[in-house]
Amino acid sequence: MSPAGIYAATLTPFDGDLRPDPALAIPYYRGLLENGCDGLNVLGTTGESMSIGTADRVAYMEALAQALPRERLMAGTGASALSDAVTLTRACLDAGYSAALVIPPFYYRDMGDDGIVRFFDALFSRVQPRERSIMLYNFPRMSGTTFTPELVSRLLVAFPGVICGLKDSSNKLELEIALHDLDASLAIFPGSEALLASARTNGFAGCISGSVCLWPSQAQQAWRSGEPRALEAVEVLRDSLEGRPLIGTVRARVAQEQRNPAWLRSIPPL
């Protein structure tokens, strides 16, 4: 079953050595699941995954899987190095996560669609992912690649039954509609709760957002009820963060809520 609903793209807490701290994360993540989140996207952009070494990402995924409902977790497993993406994706799926969220390699940006297809062919041939266990991660500002309808169509044909959906952090409604039209079973997730109204209107799966953790119950109420005032209230909350660095702002608010300054730690350069 594909992920659906309100997903928080979670912060990763770090210890004094700047390594992921599952002991701090687990009770906080559990609270998010109990207070409005249908699921969590760990080790994504908000979770600073690309600043964390592969071994530490694997250990963190495995620790979370031992303490939280794995069917409500997805993890970011993309990497520039194919071998790292293989290690991370295999670890995520072996740990029982509902999906691996894969951003394409992001250093050689002139690779074109052929290079992206070859990357996923190499990844899938090595990992052998189970049916509908891969989420594509569209974030062109960070990866240099756009999952256009043409590219996604090629991937769906080349790897039937593997891809369950796509997170779109470009938040472009026209693109999301075109991707949904390719295959109505694709779980399309905008990257902001400000877009929940259009997500409901167009039959998308929900949202995956780094700020949902600040108001999970309000986001869930808006998503389930569809009430215009509830949807507008969540949009206003998200818009209040515009112009501020998202990760730093969310860290500051979570540190205050949790009464724990450890949540303020980020790995350089953040």
Q: Is 51 helix (H, G, I), strand (E, B) or coil?
A: helix
Helix/strand number for the chain, H first, E second: 11, 8
Q: Which of 59, 46, 40 is nearest to 103 (CA)?
A: 46
Q: Is 201 a catalytic residue?
A: no
Q: Give the whole-angstrom CA distance, residue 270 versus residue 265.
A: 9
Residue with tokens 């052929």: 114
Catalytic residue (choose from 46, 89, 146, 167): 167
Region of 128 (left: φ > 0; alpha: ψ -120 to 50; beta: rest) is: left
Q: Is 184 helix (H, G, I), strand (E, B) or coil?
A: coil
Q: N- to C-terminal Cα distance for the chain?
A: 36
Q: Which tokens belong to 164?
A: 């369950």
Catalytic residue (choose from 45, 77, 87, 146): 45
Q: Give the whole-angstrom CA distance, residue 71 versus residue 96.
A: 7
The set of residues, in sequence order, having a beta carbon less than 8 Å from that of 158 and lying 6+ positions away, is 117, 120, 121
Q: Is 172 a catalytic residue?
A: no
Q: Is 137 a catalytic residue?
A: yes
Q: Is 7 a catalytic residue?
A: no
Give the DSSP letter string of 130-151.
PTT-EEEEE-HHHHS----HHH
Catalytic residue (choose from 10, 60, 137, 146): 137
How many residues are given for the chain? 270
Given CA atoms 151, 154, 159, 163 in this order, what sign does their dihedral have?
A: positive
Mind telling me the catalytic residues?
A: 45, 107, 137, 167
